[in-house]
Structures are given as C-alpha cells and as structure tokens.
C-alpha cells in the first residue's frame, strides 16, 4: 500500500536542497581563468561575489610570504568521548603538507599578479585518502555491504585575495570526499558534510598575525567566517614559526614492583607445587591398585568341574 508523504516533509526536503546548493555556491567559486591544472590540483581566478568589493589586485607578493601564510593554516580535530574522558590533547595538524605548499606557492603568486580588482584566487588539491568503505547509496540501503574503496578521491580547496596589507584566506574544503548523487539522507540516516570540515576547527598560527574580525569583508565570506582569516603578512614575516604541541602519547604502563627475595620465594613455591603433584600422582596409582584388588576379590568363585570315572577294565572270560 502506497502512502503519500506530507507536504510539510516535502517542503523540508526542498529547503534542505536549496540550503546545500547555496552553501556550494558560497564555498566553490566558478573559475573564470585557469592558471594551472594538473593531476596534483588547480589554481584559477574567480569573480568576487560582492560587486562593491575592490581587491588590491594585481599585486606582487614574495613567494616566501605566500608559503608562510599556507603553512600557518591548521586544522584541529575535535576530541572523541574517550579522549575527553582521559584528558588527551586535541590533534592539531597543518592543513597543507610541505609538498602541497611547494606546489601551490608559485602558482598563487602568479595568480595574484594576474588577478583583477574584482577577482579572487581559488585553488583545489587532488588527494588520495586511505582505504575506506563508501557510503551506501540508492534505494537498496542496508541490503548489502558497501564496496571498499582502496584509493578514494579527496579534495582540499580554498580562496584568497589581497586587500590593503592583508591576505584573506578561506579554507572551503578539507580532505573532502564527494558523494554519489543518489546517496540517501534523512532521519536516522546519514547527513552530508559538504566540506569535509565537520569535526574540525580551522586555526591560523601564530595568532598574533590575525587581523580583528572587523577586517573581514561584509557579506563576502557568508557562512564560512569560521574558516576565513585576514592575515597581516608584514607582521607574519617578523614572527617565529609556531610550536604546535604534539598529541599526547598513550600513558605508559607503570613499572613492575620488585619485591626483595621474590625470585627465591617463587622458586620455593614452584618446588612445593611439583612435590605435591608427585604425591598426588603416587596416591592415584595406589588407589588404582587397591581398586583392582577389590574387583578381583568380588568376582564370584567358579565351581570346580567333577572328573568322570574311568571305565572299569573288562573282566576276563571265565
């Protein structure tokens, strides 16, 4: 029997879809001019959504400045319930590896030198994640185990632009794995993460190089304010590299307590146990012998057979 879904539920689904599309529009600008594209990733120029905004482009920034800005972006994973229980520190790592920073730096410098005042620089890194099971999708949700993907595709992306003496950086994706369009979502199901940033907090270090929030452009970052930073790159160049604390290692097992003469006492106990085992074994053998004797005594006596009388010799004939 078919049941029609309520109009309220249908409108909720439509509203959710519109919200996801709007978020995608904010986080993924449309490329207008591709600076570079390869298997590693791409760097491109895109139009700034706010028409009243004027960036300080084109601008020539030293590659060392751009590299330092990229190295300053960090992600901090939220602690699990177990980590919170044992008081472990949060795991903080750089958003871009050394290889990724080396790849992006000269391309971003070129893009900033070519960008117009109404453009921003976008970048996207093509990455490969570890083996994982893909999301179960389609109408047969739960009917079979999802396939194991050995090399799932992941993407880390962002946008940046220069304004005054600040470089504004936004991380829009972090090791994000795109989903199939037929993946089922909803109540008691899986809710999508359009950026891969769920469970992470984006940081910039050192914090002394971050401009106040008043430097952020209004109506520009949208719901990405938490991952957008206005960096004073002149101050950043004068600050030392940040020292990020490493995550705490598991607590080591306490050292064994050494008791004086424990070894000799242990040997004495072992000898005593061995002696007792020998006595028990001898007792078992003795009990078996007694049991065998009793069984033989309890056997009924066999009656003696009577011997047949021998035939008398025939009397000789008279």
The mean pLDDT of 149-170, rounded to a whole number, is: 90
Q: Are 153 and 127 in contact (CB under 8 A)?
A: yes
Residues shown for the chain: 318
Structure tokens at 79: 């602690």
Extents of the domains making up the chain: 29-133+149-181+192-237, 262-293
Question: What pLDDT, on a 0 to 100 scale, did the predictor assign at position 233?
Answer: 94
Cis preceding linkage at 182, omega within 30: no
The mean pLDDT of 8-18, rounded to a whole number, is: 42
Provide the edge-to-edge strand list for the sheet that holds 92-94: 92-94, 73-77, 200-204
Residue 223 has pLDDT above 60, yes or no: no
Beta strands in 8-152 (DSSP E): 31-37, 41-47, 73-77, 92-94, 119-128, 132-133, 148-149
Residue 199 has pLDDT above 70, yes or no: yes
C-beta atoms surrounding 113 within 10 Å = 13
C-beta atoms surrounding 212 within 10 Å = 7
Residue 118 has pLDDT above 80, yes or no: yes
Question: What pLDDT, on a 0 to 100 scale, did the predictor assign at position 9?
Answer: 40
**In whole angstroms, how far apart are CA 136 and each of 180, 181, 182, 262?**
9, 12, 9, 59
Question: If you write DSSP's letter for every residue of 208-249 in order, what string do you get?
Answer: GGBPPGGGSPTTTSGGGGGGEEEEEHHHHHTSPPP-PPPPPP
How far apart, in whole angstroms, are the C-alpha atoms of residue 220 and residue 161? Answer: 12
Question: What pLDDT, on a 0 to 100 scale, did the predictor assign at position 298?
Answer: 67
The mean pLDDT of 268-297, rounded to a whole number, is: 71
How far apart, in whole angstroms, are the C-alpha atoms of residue 65 and residue 231? Answer: 11
**Worst-scoring range by mean pLDDT, 81-90, 241-250, 251-260, 270-279?**
251-260
pTM of the model: 0.62
Q: Which residue did the predictor score with more confidence, 237 or 78?
A: 237
């Amino acid at each position: 029997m078919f049941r029609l879904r309520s109009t309220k539920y249908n409108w909720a689904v439509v509203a959710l879809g519109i919200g996801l599309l709007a978020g995608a529009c904010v986080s993924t600008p449309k490329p207008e001019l591709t600076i570079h594209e390869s298997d590693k990733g791409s760097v491109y120029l895109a139009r700034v959504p706010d028409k009243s905004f004027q960036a300080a482009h084109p601008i020539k920034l030293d590659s060392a400045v751009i590299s330092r800005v990229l190295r300053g972006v960090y992600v901090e994973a939220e602690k699990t319930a177990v980590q919170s229980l044992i008081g472990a520190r949060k795991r903080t790592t750089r958003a871009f590896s050394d290889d990724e920073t080396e790849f992006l730096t000269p391309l971003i410098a070129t893009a900033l030198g070519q960008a117009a005042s109404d453009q921003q620089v976008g970048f996207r890194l093509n990455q490969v994640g570890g083996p994982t099971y893909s999301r179960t999708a389609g109408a047969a949700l739960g009917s079979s185990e999802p396939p194991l993907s050995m090399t799932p595709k992941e993407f880390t992306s962002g946008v940046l632009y220069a304004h005054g003496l600040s470089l504004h950086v936004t991380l829009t994706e972090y090791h994000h794995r795109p989903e199939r369009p037929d993946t089922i979502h909803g109540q008691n199901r899986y809710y999508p993460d359009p950026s891969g940033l769920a469970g992470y907090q984006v940081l910039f270090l050192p914090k002394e190089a971050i401009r106040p929030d008043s430097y952020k452009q209004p109506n520009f970052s949208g719901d990405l304010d938490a991952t957008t930073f206005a960096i004073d790159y002149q101050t950043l160049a004068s600050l030392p590299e940040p020292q990020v604390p490493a995550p705490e290692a598991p607590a080591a097992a306490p050292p064994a307590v050494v008791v004086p003469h424990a070894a000799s006492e242990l040997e004495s106990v072992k000898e005593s146990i061995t002696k007792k085992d020998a006595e028990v074994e001898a007792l078992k053998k003795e009990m078996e012998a007694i049991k065998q004797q009793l069984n033989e005594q309890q056997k009924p006596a066999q009656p003696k057979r009577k011997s047949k009388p021998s035939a008398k010799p025939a009397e000789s004939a008279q």
